[in-house]
Structure formats: C-alpha cells, structure tokens
Amino acid sequence: MSSLLITNAQLVTLDEHNRFIQGGCVYMEGDRIVAVGETPPESCTPDRTIDAGGCVVMPGLINAHHHLYSTFARGLTPPGPPARNFEQNLKNLWWKLDAALDADDVYYSALLAVMQAAKDGCTTIIDHHASPSVCDGSLDQVERAFRDVGLSGCLCYEVSDRNREGEGIEENERYIRKCRQSAAAGDRQMSALFGLHALMTLGTATLERCAAIAQDLDVGFHVHAAEDEIDLQVTRQETGQSIMERFDQFGIPGPTTLFIHGSYLRPEEMDRLRETDSILVNNPESNMNNGLKVSPILEMLEHGVRVGVGTDGMSSHLISQARAMYLHQRADARDPTLAFGEACEILLNNNRQICNRLFPESRGALAPGQLADLIIPEYVPFTPVNANTFYGHLLFGLSYSRVRTTIARGQVVVEDGRVTGVDEDAIRARCMERAARIWNRIH
C-alpha cells in the first residue's frame, strides 16, 4: 500500500469542525486519509512527501451534473439559422452532436473533459450521457476515460423517446448491475443512476418501464426537469399534469434522485422536492448561455430543498459555477446582498452530501477515513484564511488560480498542472482530428 504526505499547507479541512490549519499536513495510505493536523503522525513513513509551499490544500471538488459528451461542441457552428429558443437549440445542436458520435468519440470526448476536470480540481463527476448511434456499451467507454485519468464517476444514459421508444433503458440497467458487481468485489470507483432526458421526450410506456426497473434495482434517477417552459407546456398538454405531479405518478422523486435545473418549478413543487428528500442541481452558466430563466435557488433553499451545482457541459471548472451562481442571483434581483454564502455552501457542502448518497466512500473533507481526494491550487493567501474569510478567497482568489496538484483516490493524477497517467499532447492531437470528422457528419 502506497503512502503520501503533504506538508507546509494552509489546510482548509471542511471537516465537522471546519478547521483551518496553517502549516498543516495530510497523511494518506492507499486511497484513504489517515491523519490531518499540524504535524505528521510519529509512525508516519511516507513513500513520498509533497511540500505544498504554503499553498491552500483542500478537498477535491465534486461536479453534480455534467455532459462529458458535449466536449466536441467547442467552436462548432451548427448548420442552418441560429437557434431562437431552447427547443431549437436542442434539435439543431445537441441532438445532432450526440447522434454523430461513434464509440471512440464517446471515449475521447469523455477523456478530454475528465482530464480538464482533474486539472480544474474536480475529483468526482456525476455525468449524464447520450450517444444514440452507439447507445449499447457507451457507458463503458465513458468509464474507461475515468479509469485512465483516475477520477471517480457516477454515470447514466439519457433515456428518451426522441429517436426510438425507450432508447437507453437497457444500457442503464446493464451498467447499474455492472457497478453493483464491481462494488461487491471491492471496486467502488464508479457508481450509477438511471438516466432520463426530460418529460417532454418521455412517453408513458417508457416511464413505466424505467420506474419498474429502477424500483427493482433500488436506484435513483438523474433527469432534467423544468429547464425551459417547453417542458411544462408539453407535459401539461399531453397529460394535464405539472412536472412534479408527473414524476410523482411514477415514483421518480427520492433521496438519490437528481432533478436538474428546475427553473420553472412552482412553490408547491419545491415543497414536494423537500418532502421526498430529492435533489435539485443548478447550472448557472448553462442557464445564462441558453438565455433561460434564472433558477430560483434562494427560494428553493427557503423551501428546504437540497440544492447542488453542476457545469452542464459548459466547462469542468466548478468554482466558476459558484461564482456565476451568486452573481446570477444578485443581477436578477438587483440586490448586492444575496447568495454569496449560499453559493459557496452549495458547492462545498451540498455537493458532497449529494455525492455521499451515491457512493459508498465518504469524500469532500480532509479528515481521517475520508477518501483521499484533495487538491493543491497555486494559491498562497496574502490575507488571513479562516471560517469567516474563506469564501472570499474561494470566489476571488482560488477561482483564478491554476491547480498545481490533484490527488484522487490517493493517487497523484495532476502534477505541476499536467495529467500524469496519459499523454496529454497526443490525446489533444487525436481529438482535433476526431472533432473535424464529427463536425463533417453534422448536417
């Protein structure tokens, strides 16, 4: 079992006592944190020691909603006139891109994004995948990327009726069972949820099948909800129900179900999220990019909803999302007193609570027994760091700092800003070639 010691660190533990330790150290054995404090344990004989040089050391970040398959969209201008609304954006860009991916594209799009996530200080990603042309086995390709880099992932396939009825149901069931078997054998790096697109593309027969399988497997869902008014309109027109009434009909809400966006949920629907202990994940940069309504996250918090934050494929940089979240709320309300602390709490505390429902290994804090996921940004504070000041350092200092070292599951996966286990330059060159071919297939 390998061991690793980090010394000379400004420790931001995020533990139950929210300790900040100047000149502290973290000792790890295998994939677990063994000791955190001002000095190493007397019996500590590490295989390697890393001097943090006075930089902040903190837990690895957690992304509560990503679309790794969207990687090759960067710079792409889809054919035809520009999309004027959310539905057109789905049809003209995203549904053409995901249909153009082959199995190797799925792997490389995930690999490039997981590499970038590691470089941005993220160690666990909850992803939502779609690749209609290569649905079966696609989650194995995504998993392959996680294992090549070393991060942890919770995966699902986006079930939808838009191409064929119930597409992706079998892939979800297969992969959930695979993850259960791996966990039983001691491999807990990957986890799974049952993925759904949104009610606007899901018929009754498909929802019934998904609900029955998920109930049998005792697994939660990862589903878009009320991202745009079109979702409400189609659901009301076809069923006469609200979004949460429709989900409730099939038993979809629950403690391990992630509803994504929720911008148009009504107060009584927020109450239903709280009553079922369901999770709502906000994606502020994505909302802004799509010209959508500002998600009412402060109202959701007032209703007792557990709110997380994700990137929704826009990037892999999570601190930027927290920064965008509080600025988004303030600009919308024209109130400079709102959402600063809430945005930081959502990123640092709520996301780990969400993650710890989906994985058997606790993470998100520097404490003995926690998964050894931590990061060393190139950030040496020049003002005091404590419980009263850290959020300012997070959003105005760490948000602009390069991550020097990322440790995931006790392994150094990023060193001096470079991913250690793969050939970054060769992968980027290969992805450049693949992106050009994908774009040529989109018409």
The tens place of each residue's pLDDT in the chain, 443 residues long, gives: 799 999 999 999 999 999 999 999 999 999 999 999 998 888 899 999 999 999 999 999 999 999 999 999 999 988 888 889 999 999 999 999 999 999 999 999 999 999 999 999 999 999 999 999 999 999 999 999 999 999 999 999 999 999 999 999 999 999 999 999 999 999 999 999 999 999 999 999 999 999 999 999 999 999 999 999 999 999 999 999 999 999 999 999 999 999 999 999 999 999 999 999 999 999 999 999 999 999 999 999 999 999 999 999 999 999 999 999 999 999 999 999 999 999 999 999 999 999 999 999 999 999 999 999 999 999 999 999 999 999 999 999 999 999 999 999 999 999 999 999 999 999 999 999 999 999 999 87
Closest CA to 251 of 191, 203, 209: 209
CA distances 246 to 200, 205, 235, Å, are 11, 13, 8
Beta strands in 278-328 (DSSP E): 279-282, 306-309
What's the confidence (pLDDT) of residue 50?
98
Strand partners, 155: 192
What's the confidence (pLDDT) of residue 366?
98
What's the confidence (pLDDT) of residue 78?
86
Closest CA to 199 of 171, 183, 221, 172: 221
What's the confidence (pLDDT) of residue 42?
84
Say if strands 374-377 and 56-59 run parallel, antiparallel, or are unpaired: antiparallel
CA distances 364 to 8, 183, 359, 372, 380, Å, are 21, 20, 12, 9, 21
Domains and CATH numbers, the chain: 3-60+364-419 (2.30.40.10), 61-358 (3.20.20.140)
Whether residue 152 contacts residue 189, with contact meaning beta carbons closer than 8 Å, is answered with yes
Closest CA to 102 of 130, 128, 133: 133
Whether residue 36 contacts residue 366, with contact meaning beta carbons closer than 8 Å, is answered with yes
What's the confidence (pLDDT) of residue 113?
98
Would you give the end-to-end CA distance of the chain in angstroms?
A: 52
User: In degrees rounded to 5, what are phi and psi of residue 330?
Assistant: -65, -45
